[in-house]
Amino acid sequence: MFSKSRILAILLASATFLSTAPATPPAATDNEKHISVYSPVAVYTLPVLDRAGHEYVGLLELLEPLGRVSSQSEAPQWRLHYNAVDAEFTAGKTRARIRGRDFDFTAPFLLESARGFVPLSSLATLLPRFLGTSVNFHEAARRLFIGDVGIQPSFRLDSSTPPKLALTFSAPVNPTISTEPGKLQMVFKHDPVVSPGSQSISFDNKVITHAIYFEDNGTAELDVTATDPLIASFSSDRRTITLSALPSTPSATAVTATTPQTSAPAPPVIHRPLVVIDPAHGGNERGAALTDKLAEKDVTLGFARLLRHELEIRGFAVTMLRDSDATLTLDQRAAAANAAHPVIYITLHAVSQGHGARVYTSLLPVEGPSSGIFHPWNAAQSPALPLSRLVAAAVVADLQKKDFPSQTSSASLRPLNNILMPAVAVELGPGESGIADLTNANYQQRAASAIADALASIRDRLGAQP
């Protein structure tokens, strides 16, 4: 039987679907310390702890997006198993055993709330023992590169009038761009952009004068200085950003009485459609037991991170309802998604049976008619359902193009019914190698790339919501 407070919460959600909603898990603020990790299979950011004058990061959290990992804590011992690598750590000690060999830290190992933390200053030598590949750690900026993932920029200045500066990158990028008088800033939060060689580049031009590159707190920034306002435009493959100078507005003394003064056109607003990704389950809710040790919640989170990266490099903005092992109710997920007003909501699931992927749209219950702008909570999806089915068909088509067995169907799968915008659920099943594929980054990447391609192909339709 529902409590009065529970009934009130549901009534408020059903009657005011655009009003204040339960918040998503709090995101880290910009002034907190972060470490950004770039790898061929995942790009992610983790919080950094300060302890006794040293910076630390959770080792389990660091390795989790990269492979299959588990830990066991029996204080003061902490054991970690990553793929085929076993390691043993002792709280307060600077020596650990990895692959049966000793490893010395630069600061004592920490064990807090059964979680193991390692000093950042040891990552460059510690991680290769687990990963078996090269690691490049920019410690001062807290940016960690695994394998050959760095994106190199190059510059080409066209000194025409007005001048243009073309920045070409070795892979697609998706920076946050802002302007202020005399400067255009590009901040790369998720792209592994690295120094172009020199931290400062001067141009032989009176308008676009120089560019400065620097890194800090898990991000890279490229600032271009100019005497006139700059606007940015992207190539279709997002590998080239062209900065164009706008001529300065004539001064007031140069304007005659018969010529009205006009201002320079405002820089165009770069609109990035928002996608909400919801990794199913989490926290106390483990989801399906895919194997004795593998929970559905872990597969969906890793899959979501890969999908986020694929969408971002195609020009979408992405919000994840959870980016950690957090517990969220179905109503919280729906309310948070509705409050964000995305163009599409995608929830991710995983199963141990079947083969390939299945894409679901909502199977609506029989409800009473809508009243004005209000919709019954369990039929909120009704106006967006035709577009949801279009999305599902596009996703299935692109999955099949990549030889990924898939089909679409409808199901009474919450919180799809409660979502106001187009919404689909993608359920990832085993591949040719069986359940092991569910944690295989290449397998997940193939599915994530197909989903992102599908959304990019119908981007214009997603903006035309009822």
Considering only residues 180 and 366, tell me which one the structure prediction assigns the higher pLDDT: 180
Pair (421, 439) in one structural domain: yes
Is residue 18 pLDDT above 60, yes or no?
Answer: no
The CA R_g of the chain, rounded to the nearest whole Å, is 25
| Cβ neighbour number for residue 358 with a 10 Å cutoff | 22
- Is 16 inside a domain boundary? no
Q: Do 357 and 241 fall within a single domain?
A: no
Closest CA to 65 of 277, 275, 306: 306
Looking at the fold, whether 288 and 366 belong to one and the same domain comes out as yes
169 with 291, same domain: the answer is no
What angle do helix axes 330-340 and 4-15 make, rounded to 10 degrees?
30
Q: What is the CATH number of the domain that holds 176?
A: 2.60.40.3470
pTM higher than 0.85 for the full model? no
| Phi/psi of residue 133, nearest 5 degrees | -145, 170
Confidence of residue 378 (pLDDT cuts 50, 70, 90): confident
Q: Of 98, 128, 146, which marks where a domain is finished?
A: 146
Write the CATH number for 92: 3.30.457.10
Number of structural domains the chain divides into? 3
Residue 113 lies in a domain: yes
CB count in 10 Å sphere of residue 218: 23
Residue 261 in any domain: the answer is no
Q: Do 43 and 184 belong together in one domain?
A: no
Q: Are both 323 and 442 inside the same structural domain?
A: yes
Confidence tier at 404 by pLDDT (50, 70, 90): very high
CATH number for 285:
3.40.630.40
Q: How confident is the model at residue 271 (pLDDT cuts 50, 70, 90)?
A: low
Residues 179 and 244 in one domain: yes
Whether 226 is covered by a domain: the verdict is yes
Who has greater pLDDT, 247 or 139?
A: 139
Instruction: Please indicate, yes or no, if residue 26 is contained in any of the structural domains.
Output: no
Backbone angles phi, psi at 225, to 5 degrees: -100, 135
Q: Three-state DSSP class for 328?
A: coil
Q: Is residue 139 domain-shared with residue 173, that is, in the same domain? A: no
Which residue is associated with the tokens 């390939």? 356
**Residue 185 and residue 280 in one domain:** no
pLDDT at 267 over 90: no
Domain extent at residue 312: 274-462
- Asked if the structure places residue 254 within a domain, the reply is no
Would 259 be classed as within a structural domain?
A: no
Whether residue 279 is found in the same domain as residue 240: no
Amino acid 286 reads R
Q: Which of 53-57, 160-164, 267-271, 435-439 has the highest mean pLDDT?
A: 53-57
- My answer on whether 119 and 210 are in the same domain is no
Average pLDDT, the chain: 84
* Single residue among 214, 249, 284 that ends a domain in this structure: 249
Summarize pLDDT for 207-246 with one digit per residue, the tens: 999 999 999 999 999 999 998 888 888 887 888 999 988 7
Q: pLDDT tens digit string along 283-339?
A: 888 999 898 888 999 999 989 988 998 998 898 999 999 988 888 889 889 988 988
Same domain, 65 and 88: yes
Query: Can you give the three-state secondary structure of 132-177, one letter per residue?
Result: CCCEEEECCCCEEEECCCCECEEEEEECCCCCEEEEEECCCCCCEE
Alpha helix (H) residue ranges in 33-138: 59-63, 123-131
Domain boundary among the residues 92, 113, 146 is at 146
Would residue 189 count as lying in a domain? yes
Q: How confident is the model at residue 270 (pLDDT cuts 50, 70, 90)?
A: low
| Mean pLDDT computed over 74-93 | 95
